[in-house]
C-alpha cells in the first residue's frame, strides 16, 4: 500500500501543454488510494477538460471563485451561497498539494504572493506540504527570473519535483519537460517516506501462534490469530520503518507490500528466523504466542486411535524472547505477557528475567482482551517498572499506542 493511501490531495493545474498529462496523474493518485480534488487555472482548461478530470477524480473540478453560470440558472428564491468555492476550506482540507504543471507564470505568482485566481488563493491558504512540478521551455526554465522563483519557493518550504530533459513542445530538446506522472508519484512517495519518524529504522515483529507437530496431521498450538502482530507491522510500515514480520500460521495478510513476511510453523523455525535478522534490527517486538512445550518425539506416521489413554512426553521449546534479551546490544526489545493472575507481578518478573525494555501486558481477566478478538486492553510496563494502563481499544488503535512508544524512544 502506498504512503499516499488515504491522503487528501489538491492537484493544481496551470496553463501549459503538459496539462494533458494530469489525467494520468489523477488516475495514479486514485490507484494509490488518495482522494483528489482538482483545481484548474482558467487557462489550463484550454489543454485538458474539467469533465475528464472530474470523472477520473470522482469530484467536481473548480477553476473560479464563483459559479456564475449555475447561479444565473437558479430561481431568485433559491440559495446561491453553496456556489462559492471557498479557497480557505480547500487549502485546509488538503494533506498534500501538488501544482503540476507549474508554469513560469504560476511559479512567479506563487513566489511573489500574487493572487488572481482560485488556484493561487488555495495555494496561499494551504497549511500542508506543497509540491510543484515545473513545465516550460528550456530557455524559460533557465531564465534568472524563473530560477529566482524556484529559490523563493524552496525557501518557503515548498518541494520542487525537478523537470526532466527531453523533447519539448517548441520542438527543442532539453531541460524543462514536466516529470512524467509515474515519476512524480514516485518522487512524492519517496519524499513522504523520508519525513516519517521511523524512516531508516529496521523493526522485527513476531506474530501469530506456533504449531508443534505430534505427527504429520496433529499439532500442539494455541488460539492466537496473529491480528495484534500484523496490526503492529502495518503501523510500523506507515511510520516509515523497514518491517520484517516473522509469523506463525495465520490467515492475516499485511496491508503494505513493503513488509517482508517470513512464514514459519514451529517455535524452532521462529527462533532461527529471528536470529537470522536480529543483529540488523533497531527494534524487536515479540507479539507471537510461542508454544512453551513441544512433543519430545514426533511420529513419522499418523498415530492411530488404539489405546484408551495416550500420553505425549513434552520438552521445552527455545525461549525466543529470553534469548533475544540475552543477546541484546543496541535493540529496543518489547515483549508481550498474557496473564491470568498476579498480572503486574508476573510481568515485572518477565522484564527482569528476559532483559526487556518494555512489556505489553494482556490479562484474560479483562473483557474484550485475549486471542481471536478485534479488541485488546493492555498495560505498558517499562524496565523502570512504570505502569501505564490503557483503555479497551481496537487492536489497530493498540498498535498505534505501541508504535508511539517506539517513536518516543528515538526522539
What interhelical angle do 395-409 and 227-238 show, nearest 10?
50
> 402: number of CA atoms within 13 Å, CB side?
37
Least confident of 132-136, 245-249, 287-291, 302-306: 302-306
Half-sphere exposure of 152 (CA within 13 A, CB side): 13
93 neighbors 10 (Cβ within 8 angstroms): yes
pLDDT band at 183 (very low <50, low <70, confident <90, very high): very high
Q: Do domains 8-194 and 202-302+311-409 have the same CATH topology?
A: yes
Cα distance between residue 331 and residue 342, in whole Å: 28
284 strand-pairing partners: 204, 333
Domain covering 202-302+311-409: architecture = 3-Layer(aba) Sandwich (3.40)
* Structure confidence at residue 402 (pLDDT): 97
CATH number (3.40.50.1950, 3.40.50.2300, 3.40.50.300, 3.40.50.460) of 8-194 reads 3.40.50.1950
pLDDT score for 83:
59
Encode pLDDT of 24-78 as tens digits.
999 999 999 999 999 999 999 999 999 999 999 999 999 988 765 544 544 454 4
Of 324, 282, 287, which is closest to residue 409 (Cα–Cα)? 282
Helix 22-31 × helix 181-194 angle, to 10°: 40
Using one digit for the tens of pLDDT, what is the confidence trace for 82-91?
Answer: 556 778 888 8
Reported residue count of the chain is 411
3-state secondary structure of 362: strand
Rounded-to-integer distance, Cα 191 and Cα 163, Å: 16
**d(C-alpha 115, C-alpha 112), whole Å:** 9
Residue 99 in grid coordinates: 501544482
**Is the peptide bond preceding residue 401 cis, with omega within 30 degrees of 0?**
no
Neighbouring C-beta atoms of residue 160, cutoff 10 Å:
16
CA distance 30 to 280: 36
- Residue ranges covered by each domain of the chain: 8-194, 202-302+311-409
For residues 246 and 205, is the Cβ–Cβ distance under 8 A? yes
pLDDT at 209: 96
- The residues facing 335 across adjacent strands are 286, 359
The whole-angstrom separation of Cα 327 and Cα 308 is 46
At residue 388, the pLDDT reads: 95
Residues belonging to the active site: 222
Residue-wise pLDDT for 190-211, tens only, equals 999 899 999 999 999 999 999 9
Which H or E run includes 177?
strand 173-177
8 A C-beta contact, residue 180 and residue 135: no
Strand locations in 168-249 (E): 173-177, 202-207, 212-213, 219-220, 242-247
Amino acid at each position: 500500500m502506498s504512503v499516499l493511501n488515504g491522503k487528501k490531495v489538491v492537484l493544481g493545474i496551470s496553463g501549459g501543454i503538459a496539462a494533458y498529462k494530469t489525467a494520468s496523474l489523477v488516475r495514479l493518485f486514485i490507484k494509490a488510494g488518495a482522494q483528489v480534488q482538482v483545481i484548474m487555472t482558467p487557462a489550463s482548461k484550454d489543454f485538458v477538460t474539467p469533465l475528464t478530470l472530474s470523472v477520473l477524480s470522482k469530484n467536481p473540478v473548480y477553476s473560479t471563485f464563483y459559479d456564475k453560470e449555475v447561479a444565473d440558472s437558479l430561481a431568485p428564491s433559491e440559495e446561491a451561497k453553496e456556489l462559492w468555492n471557498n479557497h480557505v476550506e480547500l487549502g485546509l482540507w488538503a494533506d498534500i498539494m501538488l501544482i503540476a504543471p507549474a508554469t513560469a507564470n504560476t511559479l512567479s505568482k506563487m513566489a511573489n504572493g500574487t493572487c488572481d485566481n482560485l488556484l493561487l488563493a488555495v495555494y496561499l491558504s494551504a497549511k500542508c506540504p506543497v509540491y510543484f512540478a515545473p513545465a516550460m521551455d528550456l530557455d524559460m526554465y533557465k531564465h534568472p527570473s524563473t530560477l529566482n522563483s524556484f529559490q523563493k519557493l524552496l525557501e518557503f518550504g515548498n518541494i520542487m519535483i525537478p523537470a526532466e530533459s527531453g523533447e519539448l513542445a517548441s520542438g527543442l530538446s532539453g531541460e524543462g519537460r514536466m516529470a512524467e506522472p509515474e515519476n512524480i508519484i514516485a518522487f512524492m512517495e519517496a519524499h513522504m517516506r523520508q519525513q516519517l519518524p521511523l524512516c531508516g529504522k529496521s523493526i522485527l515483529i513476531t506474530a501469530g501462534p506456533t504449531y508443534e507437530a505430534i505427527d504429520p496431521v496433529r499439532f500442539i498450538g494455541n488460539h492466537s490469530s496473529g491480528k495484534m502482530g500484523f496490526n503492529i507491522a502495518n503501523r510500523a510500515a506507515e511510520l516509515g520503518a523497514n518491517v520484517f514480520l516473522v509469523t506463525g500460521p495465520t490467515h492475516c495478510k499485511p496491508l503494505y507490500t513493503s513488509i517482508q513476511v517470513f512464514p514459519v510453523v514451529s517455535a524452532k523455525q521462529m527462533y532461527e528466523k529471528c536470529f537470522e535478522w536480529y543483529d540488523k534490527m533497531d527494534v524487536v517486538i515479540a507479539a507471537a504466542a510461542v508454544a512453551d512445550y513441544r512433543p519430545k518425539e514426533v511420529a513419522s506416521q499418523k498415530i492411530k486411535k488404539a489405546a484408551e489413554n495416550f500420553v505425549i512426553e513434552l520438552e521445552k521449546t527455545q525461549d525466543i524472547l529470553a534469548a533475544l534479551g540475552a543477546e541484546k546490544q543496541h535493540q529496543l526489545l518489547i515483549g508481550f505477557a498474557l496473564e491470568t493472575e498476579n498480572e503486574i507481578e508476573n510481568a515485572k518478573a518477565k522484564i527482569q528475567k528476559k532483559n526487556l525494555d518494555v512489556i505489553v501486558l494482556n490479562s484474560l481477566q479483562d473483557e474484550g482482551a485475549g486471542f481471536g478478538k478485534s479488541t485488546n486492553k493492555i498495560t505498558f510496563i517499562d524496565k523502570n517498572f512504570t505502569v501505564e494502563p490503557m483503555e479497551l481499544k481496537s487492536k489497530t488503535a493498540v498498535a498505534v499506542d505501541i508504535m508511539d512508544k517506539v517513536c518516543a524512544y528515538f526522539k
